[in-house]
């Protein structure tokens, strides 16, 4: 295994629900309940990119990208459709997928939880309740023996804070509650569950590497001469980018913001992480407004010259370097586990990739402990709350033509980039 893994990982990333299709989980239930009809959107899942049926062919295309690693997730709802009752067929297919990746000399980087749950989970033990921790531990303990010896890199959770905010602050994800207290409780349990699963994975295989994929945002004051805008940027940075990193450092999850949030609790996390996954997409500008309901505002502006994505986000490649630096300041290894552009114009994706890969080089030249980069996404996929109308893929999916795949110019660009770099032995 060592030769296979001790190289810089150049990869692409996906998540199970966003590409697989043929699944019923909390999100499809949410859609059926009409809860996704918000902000003018009414996304329909429609089996996403149908990958559950076409994974073998998809992996042939993945190989054409010259990647030596692939980040993907397994779907809890598929594995444990009823509490404590498991679907052997699903486990068998995931196992076959891992075997095939290894045959193709592609390192599997496995996410155990990427935003979705079995429907029963929210009924029995949503994340704001402490029983959630044991439910997750039970699911992971079940699946681990089927993965061992072949999977070295585990990501316990994708973006725990983003998920907690979506579910308990915006209330757009199930269970759809609006309460900062519940949000912090849920986050606390997610992190607790990480700590427990970390111990379990390591006790079975001390060569396994276990991390969390964390989203980072660059917050910049809208008016650099306005101290209130500065204050908002600093609060947002400390909360969104640093709070979880600090919890691992200090064995304490805490955040105080007068009249909004007051949470402080010890948590057993010290050194229970081998790497940080950096998911980085954008910079946003912070403003203070004299508005009791929303004093802190975030806006996307086209200030860097790199444009806005079709998500409305500002492309700001220098931010990737900053995010890697924040994560590396913990002393842990860092992988960029997501970075990508939603666009119909593939030329823009190429220049986005070029700019962000320059940031990767800058991080390596500066001696930061960065060990991999994964473009989001390998395939066009189902985007949360939006559906299939935005295109993140290096490989396009034609949803009107039986999910036909097309390797985009950006995919060829990335393949060529990896080929060149590997001949230079980086």
Binding footprint of ligand BGC on the chain (CB under 6 A): 15, 18, 158-159, 162, 215, 279, 338, 376, 383
Q: How many Å apart are CA 160 and CA 72, to the nearest integer? A: 16
Minimum separation from the CB atom of position 279 to ligand BGC (A): 5
Integer angstrom CA distances of residue 96 from 54, 56, 141, 148, 219: 13, 10, 19, 13, 42
Q: Which candidate, 156, 33, 145, places its Cα nearest to that of 98?
A: 145
Q: How many Å apart are CA 317 and CA 259, to the nearest integer? A: 35
Residue closer to ligand BGC by CB (options 333, 388) is 388
Residue closer to ligand BGC by CB (options 44, 105) is 44
Q: Which helix (H) or strand (E) holds 92?
A: helix 88-103
Helices assigned H by DSSP within 205-317: 227-236, 243-250
Residue closer to ligand BGC by CB (options 229, 346) is 346
Minimum separation from the CB atom of position 392 to ligand BGC (A): 7
* SS3 assignment for 114-152: CCCCCHHHHHHCCCCCCHHHHHHHHHHHHHHHHHCCCCC
Pairing relationship of beta strands 9-13 and 370-376 according to DSSP bridges? parallel
Minimum separation from the CB atom of position 173 to ligand BGC (A): 11
Helices assigned H by DSSP within 340-408: 346-365
Minimum separation from the CB atom of position 166 to ligand BGC (A): 10
Q: How many Å apart are CA 188 and CA 177, to the nearest integer? A: 16
* 3-class SS of residue 159: coil
Neighbours of 227 (CB within 10 A): 11
Residue closer to ligand BGC by CB (options 80, 338) is 338
Minimum separation from the CB atom of position 71 to ligand BGC (A): 10
Neighbours of 6 (CB within 10 A): 8
Residue closer to ligand BGC by CB (options 346, 383) is 383
Q: Token match 């990958």: residue?
A: 51
Residue closer to ligand BGC by CB (options 15, 241) is 15
Minimum separation from the CB atom of position 277 to ligand BGC (A): 10
Residue closer to ligand BGC by CB (options 107, 159) is 159
Residue 334 near residue 321, CB atoms below 8 Å: no
Minimum separation from the CB atom of position 385 to ligand BGC (A): 9
Minimum separation from the CB atom of position 340 to ligand BGC (A): 7
Q: How many Å apart are CA 402 and CA 149, to the nearest integer? A: 36
253 torsion bin: left (phi>0), alpha (psi -120 to 50), beta (else) = beta
Minimum separation from the CB atom of position 382 to ligand BGC (A): 8
Residue closer to ligand BGC by CB (options 26, 159) is 159
Residue closer to ligand BGC by CB (options 288, 348) is 348
């Amino acid at each position: 295994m060592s030769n296979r893994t001790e190289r810089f990982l150049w990869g692409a990333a996906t998540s199970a629900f966003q590409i697989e299709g043929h699944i019923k989980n909390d999100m499809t239930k949410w859609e059926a309940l009409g809860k996704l009809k918000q902000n003018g959107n009414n996304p329909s899942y429609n089996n996403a990119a149908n990958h559950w049926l076409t994974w073998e062919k998809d992996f042939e295309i993945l190989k054409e990208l010259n990647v030596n690693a692939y980040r993907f997730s397994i779907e809890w709802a598929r594995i444990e459709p009823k509490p404590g009752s498991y679907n052997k067929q699903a486990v068998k297919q995931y196992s076959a997928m891992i075997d095939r990746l290894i045959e193709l000399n592609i390192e599997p980087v496995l996410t155990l939880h990427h935003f979705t749950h079995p429907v029963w989970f929210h009924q029995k033990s949503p994340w704001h309740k402490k029983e959630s921790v044991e439910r997750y531990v039970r699911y992971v303990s079940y699946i681990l023996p089927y993965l061992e010896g072949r999977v070295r890199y585990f990501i316990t959770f994708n973006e725990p804070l983003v998920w907690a905010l979506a579910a308990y602050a915006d209330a757009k994800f199930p269970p759809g509650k609006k309460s900062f207290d519940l949000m912090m409780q849920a986050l606390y349990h997610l992190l607790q569950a990480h700590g427990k699963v970390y111990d379990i994975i390591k006790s079975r295989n001390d060569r396994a590497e276990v991390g969390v994929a964390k989203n980072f945002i660059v917050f910049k004051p809208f008016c650099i001469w306005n101290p209130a805008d500065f204050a908002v940027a600093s609060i947002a940075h400390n909360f969104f980018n640093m709070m979880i990193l600090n919890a691992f450092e200090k064995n304490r999850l805490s955040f105080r913001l007068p009249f909004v949030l007051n949470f402080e609790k010890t948590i057993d996390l010290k050194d229970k992480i081998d790497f940080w996954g950096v998911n980085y997409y954008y910079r946003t500008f912070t403003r203070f407004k004299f508005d009791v309901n929303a004093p802190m505002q975030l806006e996307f502006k086209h200030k860097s010259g790199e444009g806005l994505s079709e998500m409305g986000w500002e492309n700001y490649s220098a931010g990737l370097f900053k995010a890697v630096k924040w994560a590396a300041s913990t002393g842990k290894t860092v992988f960029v586990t997501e970075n990508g552009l939603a666009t119909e114009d593939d030329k823009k994706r190429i220049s986005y990739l070029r700019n962000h890969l320059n940031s990767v080089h800058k991080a390596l030249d500066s001696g930061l402990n960065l060990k991999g980069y994964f473009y989001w996404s390998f395939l066009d996929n189902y985007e949360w709350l939006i559906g299939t109308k935005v295109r993140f893929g290096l490989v396009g999916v034609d949803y009107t033509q039986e999910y036909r795949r097309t390797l985009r110019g950006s995919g060829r660009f990335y393949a060529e980039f990896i080929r060149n770099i590997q001949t230079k032995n980086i």
